[in-house]
């Protein structure tokens, strides 16, 4: 969305896609982004100015001058800053509205929801040194291939499997960061199935008789077949809570992939000032998954195919950053940085349907 489109017929289309003038204004009043007409005559004009600042390359002073030149508002850069600081909740509501509209329920089969996150650095010379980030937590839904959940936090907002509200019957897929036993159990009690990656050290493994299970020994015994598919129990992090029944699936990687995995493991260990252990080098030769999907309904090959779909959300994040131009926000103030990022998320949701309509490849 370019600055020029904010004053053309494209803007009429944008307002319509966001629910129309009445809906946008109602949300602005509800969220406290717009209370009464003063320097800015309407919530629609405020949204136009907000997107012009956040999606363009203008500073506050230039944006204020542009708004006056096109007849939208007459206000100082300081007054504009005060207005922009109050738009985060409003933009979040507009994003949620688009997400609900663009995520149809699957009529047949199971809905797949892939969870992952991406981040951009916060503004300021010390942000990279101190690793200060804005995190975008997302759920990407298949078969519609749309983001159906987006949440923005600072670097204290960790990845959680239960962050996204559960849709009954869904299959929730995540990488090893989502190997969170208690959250897995919570998601399952709400009617979803789970498929996540694991490693040999980030869980307490038990056999079906609740006896400790040596996962590396189990993998070693499966060297000939190159695969494992069996029921296990995984210990809770909460004292006194029963272990969680899950299905363990492991597949030994092809020779070239094993060599690359060992190389990466040695390099990562070296960066941390230690040597990679023999156990670590052996475990990295395997893809280890845990799932609540039953052996009767989903064969091992089906599980592996499901997990391979994770790459779809990686492409979606690349699309977000390349098409929407998402990068580190220029403002240090969180009240200004958040609207900046949320505006980019809003834009990608507006544009996504057009990529299908016009056959645009964004990967």
Whether 152 is covered by a domain: the verdict is no
Helix (H) or strand (E) holding 44: helix 43-55
57 falls within a domain? yes
Beta bridge partners of 134: 120, 154
Cα(151)–Cα(142) distance, integer angstroms? 19
Claim to verify: residue 295 and residue 335 sit in the same structural domain: no
* Residues 201 and 288 sit within 8 Å (Cβ to Cβ): no
Same domain? For 276 and 339 the reply is no
Name the residue among 54, 47, 40 with its Cα closest to residue 23: 47
Do the bridges between strand 112-121 and strand 133-142 make them parallel or antiparallel, or are there none, so unpaired? antiparallel
Last residue of a domain, one of 253, 278, 299: 299
Would 325 be classed as within a structural domain?
Answer: no
R_g of the chain computed on alpha carbons: 24
d(CA 321, CA 293): 33
- Asked if 86 contacts 33 with a C-beta cutoff of 8 angstroms, the reply is yes
Q: Same structural domain for residues 190 and 292?
A: yes
Which tokens belong to 3? Answer: 């600055």
Distance CA 247, CA 295 (A): 8
d(CA 74, CA 55): 20
Cβ atoms 349, 99 nearer than 8 A: yes
Q: What Å distances lie between residue 37 and 82, 84, 104, 135, 230, CA to CA?
A: 15, 15, 37, 34, 65
Q: Is 187 helix (H, G, I), strand (E, B) or coil?
A: helix
Residue that finishes a domain, picked among 276, 299, 322: 299
List Cα–Cα distances, 183 to 5, 160, 165, 172, 179, in angstroms. Answer: 44, 7, 12, 12, 8
Show the domain range for 240. 176-299
Co-location of 180 and 258 in the same domain:
yes
Shared domain check, 271 and 200:
yes
Mean pLDDT, residues 342-348 taken together: 84
> What confidence score (pLDDT) does residue 358 get?
35
Look at residue 305 and give its three-state secondary structure. helix
Examine the pLDDT at 30 and tell me if it is beyond 70: yes
Q: What pLDDT, on the 0 to 100 scale, is given for residue 324?
A: 64
The answer to the question of residue 39 being in a domain is yes
Q: What does residue 265 show for φ and ψ, rounded to 5 degrees? A: -65, -40
Q: What pairing do the DSSP bridges indicate for beta strands 193-198 and 171-174? A: parallel
Domain end marker among 254, 284, 299? 299
The residue-averaged pLDDT of 306-310 equals: 87
If asked whether residues 347 and 295 sit together in one domain, one would say no
Confidence at residue 63, expressed as pLDDT on a 0 to 100 scale:
92
Give pLDDT, residue 264: 93
- Residue pLDDT, tens place only, 93-139: 898 887 776 554 433 378 899 999 888 888 776 666 666 888 889 89
Hey, is 79 helix, strand or coil? helix
348 and 270 in a single domain? The answer is no
Quote the mean pLDDT of the chain: 85
Do residue 188 and residue 283 come from a single domain? yes
Rounded average pLDDT over 132-154: 85
Please indicate, yes or no, if residue 91 is contained in any of the structural domains. yes
* Number of domains observed in the structure of the chain: 2
Give the residue carrying structure tokens 């983001």.
147
Please indicate, yes or no, if residue 50 is contained in any of the structural domains.
Answer: yes
Q: CA distances (Å), 225 to each of 90, 218, 219, 256, in order?
A: 55, 12, 10, 18
**Average pLDDT of the segment spanning 137-144:** 84
Is there a single domain that holds both residue 283 and residue 228?
Answer: yes
For 80, phi then psi, to 5°, come to -65, -40
Give the percent of the chain with pLDDT over 90.
51
**What element of type H or E holds 41?**
none
Label residue 333 by pLDDT band (50, 70, 90). Answer: confident
Stated as kind and residue range, the H or E segment containing 209 is none
* 132 within some domain: no
- Residue 101 resides in a domain: no
The answer for residues whose C-beta is within 8 angstroms of residue 31's C-beta and 6 or more apart is 89, 90, 93
Specify the pTM: 0.72
- 213-269 confidence digits (pLDDT tens): 999 999 999 999 999 999 999 998 888 889 999 999 999 999 999 999 999 999 999
Residue 181: which region, alpha, beta or left (left: phi > 0; alpha: psi -120 to 50)? Answer: alpha
């Amino acid at each position: 969305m370019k600055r020029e489109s904010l004053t053309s017929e494209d803007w009429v289309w944008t307002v319509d896609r966001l629910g129309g003038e009445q809906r946008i204004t109602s949300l602005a009043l509800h969220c406290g982004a717009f209370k009464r007409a003063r320097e800015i005559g309407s919530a629609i004009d405020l949204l136009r100015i907000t997107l012009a600042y956040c999606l363009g390359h203008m500073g506050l002073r230039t944006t204020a001058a542009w708004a006056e030149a096109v007849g939208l508002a007459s206000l100082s850069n300081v007054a504009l800053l005060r207005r922009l600081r109050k738009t985060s909740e409003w933009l979040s509501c507009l994003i949620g509205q688009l997400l609900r509209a663009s995520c149809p329920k699957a009529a047949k089969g199971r809905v797949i929801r892939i969870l992952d996150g991406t981040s951009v650095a916060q503004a300021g010379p010390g942000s990279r040194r101190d690793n200060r980030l804005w995190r975008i937590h997302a759920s990407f839904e298949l078969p519609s291939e749309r983001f159906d959940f987006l949440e923005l936090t600072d670097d204290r907002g960790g990845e959680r499997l239960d962050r996204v509200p559960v849709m009954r019957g869904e299959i929730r897929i995540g990488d090893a960061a989502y190997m969170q036993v208690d959250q897995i159990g919570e998601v399952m009690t709400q009617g979803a199935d789970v498929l996540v990656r694991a490693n040999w050290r980030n869980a307490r493994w038990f056999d079906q008789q609740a006896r400790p299970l040596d996962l590396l020994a189990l993998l070693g015994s499966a060297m000939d077949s190159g695969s494992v598919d069996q029921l296990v129990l995984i210990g809770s992090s909460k004292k006194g809570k029963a272990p969680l029944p899950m299905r363990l699936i492991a597949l030994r990687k092809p020779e070239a992939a094993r060599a690359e995995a060992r190389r990466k493991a040695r390099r990562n260990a070296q960066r941390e000032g230690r040597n990679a252990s023999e156990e670590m080098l052996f475990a990295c030769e395997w893809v280890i998954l845990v799932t609540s999907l039953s052996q009767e309904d989903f064969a091992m090959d089906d599980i592996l195919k499901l997990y391979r779909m994770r790459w779809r959300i990686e492409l979606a994040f690349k699309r977000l950053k390349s098409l929407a131009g998402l990068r580190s926000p220029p403002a240090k103030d969180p009240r200004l940085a958040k609207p900046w990022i949320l505006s980019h998320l809003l834009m990608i949701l507006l544009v996504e349907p057009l990529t299908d309509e016009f056959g645009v490849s964004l990967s």
